[in-house]
Amino acid sequence: MPEKNESNNNLSHPFRGIGGIDRNLLLRAYRLMYSAKLMAEAYEANRSITKYVHSTSRGHEAIQLAAAFHLLPQDWVSPYYRDESLLLGMGWSPYELMLQLLTKADDPFSGGRSYYSHPNSRSEDKPKIIHQSSATGMQVIPTTGVAQGIQYLEEVHRRRITGGNAAAMDRELSTVDTKPIVLCSLGDASVTEGEVSEALQFAVLKQLPIIYLVQDNEWGISVSAEEGRAMDAYEYAEGFKGVNKVRVDGTDFFESYSVMQKVIADVREHRRPWLVHAKVCLLNHHTSGVRKEFYRSNEDLAKHACNDPFVKFKNYVVGDFGDNYTHTMEEEVAAEIKEAFEKAVAASEPDPSTVAEHVFAPTPITEESGERSPQGKEKVLMVDAALFAIRELMEDHEECLLYGQDVGKRLGGVFREAATLGEKFGDHRVFNTAIQEAYIIGSTVGMSAVGLKPIVEVQFADYIYPGFNQLVSEISKSCYLSCGKFPVSTIIRVPIGAYGGGGPYHSGSVETTLLSIKGIKIAYPSNAADMKGLMKAAYYDPNPVVMLEHKGLYWSKVPGAEEAKTVEPSRDYVLPFGKAAVALKASDDAVFNGESVCVITYGMGVYWAKAAAKNFDQQIEIIDLRTLFPLDEETVFSSVKKHGKCLVLTEEQQNNSFAEALAGRISKACFSWLDAPVEVLGALNLPAVPLNTGLEAAMLPNADKVKKKLQALLNY
């Protein structure tokens, strides 16, 4: 193989032509290529039945089968929606694929929830597949995360075996010839997505064992190569120093087989990234819905038809095995496809009563346990409670890693929220990443799939948006669309909130935006003890958790927020999600006399409400939500019912906020108990928190504004 970084367009192809490949494999390839052809024809002939949108692999079969034949069950593959032949080559039967086409209950991938060729699998006997979304190119980050995870596991393994001795590590590695590789398949047009470059950058920087297989049919629906790109994927990869690359005629099975054999063998042995640029043709429609006649000329269709991989391959196979032999096989395949299709059509539909299953995997943490306020323990800052929680978790769990911008040992986080962790646990477990929020967030999909528990950090809530797509498109849907096979077990730490002139890009609140995503959990602790208990609960939760950590509470620096500092809970203390706390109680007399109000709030709101409550005679009850999803509606509603008057208080801009939505829910659930309309107080509806501290204060709620609202409610 050529050396790393070398330009690899001169790979020789010893298997070009029929020689050298096991004859049974050739027959298998022919059988599967013919299957793919007949499947496409069957789907087309039955369009009233195959009504859900689907793409077929026609034109791409050769490279897909060639790649599949070199994969092992320990490998990880991310096929894209045109990779039907890749799936056939990996051992999935036409019937199994058709179950997904027709959204049947027994669809092995998504139980009828996702489109054709959107697989995921933990099958023991086949390469593993993480959840596959339809968002073009977005699988590249999660899949690179798988390779990152594999690299970490190998590193831990090496350290265990060798105690860190480099020469011994290398000896150890050279004895293993079946290490897992990762194959990430994608269409040429998706390479122009920005997130692809974040993944490539990470893969080359860390030299991950991954192959990006780009199938270039020169179309991105109707966008031609000339319109969409200044360079193809192979040329683009030139900019990523350290990636090995090769071009291949992906319509030629023999050439594809040879190239994929070499590339996969190289990655198995040398643990380094490759990009394979496979030129293919597009013979069928883009999808069943977007028909080729809509936008492709006859000349273009004819040009693509010339390279039909099936026709090319058939010529070889007929030449070798004879017409009669292939004819008999074709008859067998036709019968098999017909039978599979009829069986799939007759298969059961999913039970509508199961529609809400698998949004989350069950969490083991359902009860508060351990000591929340151990005797004789010092009070700690909230920032340290988070740090200590993670330190204990990392001590107890080798699968726990922490990464993000500036969290590595040089700085330990811009808020020192990860200080000392890098020194203690080493660069392989606590490390800096580049500025690439999409990668930081999305890579946790892959890390979690291989059994790791990544804790990652986005430096400021204002900068979660570049990673938002991964959270929505990949993370939140993975458990649901894989029917529970791939919950994404991750903690995303997000310093949030305004204080002391942080300014427009370092003070924003994002909870409403996050809460619009179904399939993630969101914690928002307001004190050190909750921070530690929730961080531990988040760790043991097999689902994605966003920890919103208020910067103003980290060090109790904001006047009135001293109580965010608490005694440090014990090591085994856990606080389950969905359990609000009564942060302040009203007196029984005030409640009895109908002279009380409850404030439903979280984060900094708890402290504004506490300060405001000092102006009243034990008339205020404060509910600290602690987690925003799941939400403790029971505690909220029972508090509102008890007091009959309620203020929902948030730091976020008020209009269309989570707080307003909650107020609406409260109004409905507690209607007959209410003695006043449910009030909401949030920040002014401005696009950003201004830098000047006077302007900042004018925008945000504070104790005085809360007091006025409470007084108005009491007067009602």
Q: Which of 156, 188, 187 has its CA nearest to residue 169?
A: 156
Residue 188 as a binder of ligand TPP (CB under 6 A): the answer is yes
Residue 262 as a binder of ligand TPP (CB under 6 A): the answer is no
To ligand TPP, the closest distance from the beta carbon of 266 in angstroms equals 25
Active site residue 506: yes
Among 89, 119, 142, 187, binds ligand TPP (CB under 6 A): 187
What are 85-89's contacts with CB under 8 Å, separation 24+? 85/32, 85/33, 85/36, 85/57, 85/60, 85/61, 86/57, 86/185, 87/117, 87/119, 88/32, 88/35, 88/36, 89/29, 89/32, 89/64, 89/65
Instruction: Convert residues 263-302 into a mask of x (bound to ligand TPP by CB under 6 A) and - (unbound).
Output: -----------------------x----------------
Among 116, 219, 425, 463, binds ligand TPP (CB under 6 A): 219
With 0-12 CB in 10 A as exposed, 13-18 as middle and 19+ as buried, what is 596? buried
Residue 467 as a binder of ligand TPP (CB under 6 A): the answer is no
Name the amino acid, one letter, at 348.
Answer: S
Q: Which is nearer to ligand TPP, 118 or 286 (CB)?
A: 286
For every residue of 281-341, DSSP letters joined together read ---S-SSSSS-HHHH--HHHHHHHHTT-HHHHHHHHHHHHH-HHHHHHHHHHHHHHHHHHH
Burial 257-295 (b: 16+ CB within 10 A, else e): bbbbbbbbebbbbebbbbbbbbbbbbbbbbbbeeebeee
Q: Name the one range near ligand TPP by CB under 6 A: 98-106, 181-189, 661-669, 698-706.
A: 181-189
Round to whole Å and give the CA distance between 587 and 584: 10
Q: Which is nearer to ligand TPP, 98 or 233 (CB)?
A: 233
Evaluate whether 200 touches 240 at the Cβ level (below 8 Å): yes
Residue 472 as a binder of ligand TPP (CB under 6 A): the answer is no
Residue 608 as a binder of ligand TPP (CB under 6 A): the answer is no
Residue 82 as a binder of ligand TPP (CB under 6 A): the answer is yes
Q: Which is nearer to ligand TPP, 154 or 188 (CB)?
A: 188
Catalytic annotation, pick one of 54, 131, 358, 506: 506
To ligand TPP, the closest distance from the beta carbon of 583 in angstroms equals 43
Cα 153–158–160 angle (5° rounding)?
Answer: 95
Number of residues that bind ligand TPP (CB under 6 A): 13
Round to whole Å and give the CA distance between 89 and 95: 14
Q: Is the dihedral of CA 114, 118, 123, 125 positive or negative?
A: positive
To ligand TPP, the closest distance from the beta carbon of 130 in angstroms equals 17
Q: Name the one range near ligand TPP by CB under 6 A: 216-224, 325-333, 383-391, 679-687.
A: 216-224
Among 11, 135, 611, 674, binds ligand TPP (CB under 6 A): 135
To ligand TPP, the closest distance from the beta carbon of 473 in angstroms equals 8
To ligand TPP, the closest distance from the beta carbon of 469 in angstroms equals 8
The residue number whose beta carbon is nearest to ligand TPP equals 187
First to last CA, the chain: 81
Q: Name the one range near ligand TPP by CB under 6 A: 134-142, 397-405, 454-462, 582-590.
A: 134-142
Q: At what angle do helices 528-540 and 382-396 cross, to 10 degrees?
A: 30
Q: Which is nearer to ligand TPP, 112 or 220 (CB)?
A: 220
Task: Tokens 């007399």: give the residue.
Answer: 589
Round to whole Å and give the CA distance between 167 and 218: 46
Round to whole Å and give the CA distance between 163 and 492: 31
To ligand TPP, the closest distance from the beta carbon of 136 in angstroms equals 4
Q: Name the one range near ligand TPP by CB under 6 A: 30-38, 219-227, 326-334, 445-453.
A: 219-227
The C-alpha torsion from 82 through 86 and 90 to 96, rounded to 10°, is: 30
Residue 83 as a binder of ligand TPP (CB under 6 A): the answer is no
Q: Which two tokens stand for residue 531?
A: 């921070």
To ligand TPP, the closest distance from the beta carbon of 420 in angstroms equals 40
Round to whole Å and give the CA distance between 18 and 23: 9
Distances (CA, A) of 69 to 18, 22, 32, 52: 16, 11, 11, 29
Q: Name the one range near ligand TPP by CB under 6 A: 95-103, 173-181, 185-193, 306-314.
A: 185-193
Name the amino acid, one letter, at 684.
Answer: L
Residue 196 as a binder of ligand TPP (CB under 6 A): the answer is no
To ligand TPP, the closest distance from the beta carbon of 478 in angstroms equals 16
Task: Tokens 């692999």: give the residue.
Answer: 57
Q: Which is nearer to ligand TPP, 195 or 632 (CB)?
A: 195
Q: Name the one range near ligand TPP by CB under 6 A: 130-138, 316-324, 380-388, 515-523.
A: 130-138
For every residue of 118-166, DSSP letters joined together read ---B--TTS-BB----SSTTTTHHHHHHHHHHHHHHHHHHHHHHHTT-H
Instruction: Convert residues 40-79 into a mask of x (bound to ligand TPP by CB under 6 A) and - (unbound).
Output: ----------------------------------------
To ligand TPP, the closest distance from the beta carbon of 134 in angstroms equals 5
To ligand TPP, the closest distance from the beta carbon of 190 in angstroms equals 4
Among 93, 123, 134, 702, binds ligand TPP (CB under 6 A): 134
Residue 190 as a binder of ligand TPP (CB under 6 A): the answer is yes
Distances (CA, A) of 396 to 49, 151, 366, 418: 53, 21, 21, 17
Q: Which of 702, 701, 689, 635 has its CA nearest to residue 662?
A: 635
Which helix (H) or strand (E) covers residue 453, if one does? strand 453-457
Cis peptide before 495 (omega within 30 of 0): no
Q: Name the one range near ligand TPP by CB under 6 A: 212-220, 459-467, 506-514, 681-689.
A: 212-220
Residue 434 as a binder of ligand TPP (CB under 6 A): the answer is no
Among 145, 220, 250, 508, binds ligand TPP (CB under 6 A): 220
Residue 217 as a binder of ligand TPP (CB under 6 A): the answer is yes
Residue 189 as a binder of ligand TPP (CB under 6 A): the answer is yes
| Interactions with ligand TPP, residue window 496-535 (CB under 6 A) | none
Q: Name the one range near ligand TPP by CB under 6 A: 8-16, 131-139, 170-178, 229-237.
A: 131-139
Catalytic residue numbers, as ranges: 506
- Contact residues toward ligand TPP (CB under 6 A) are 82, 134-136, 187-190, 217, 219-221, 286
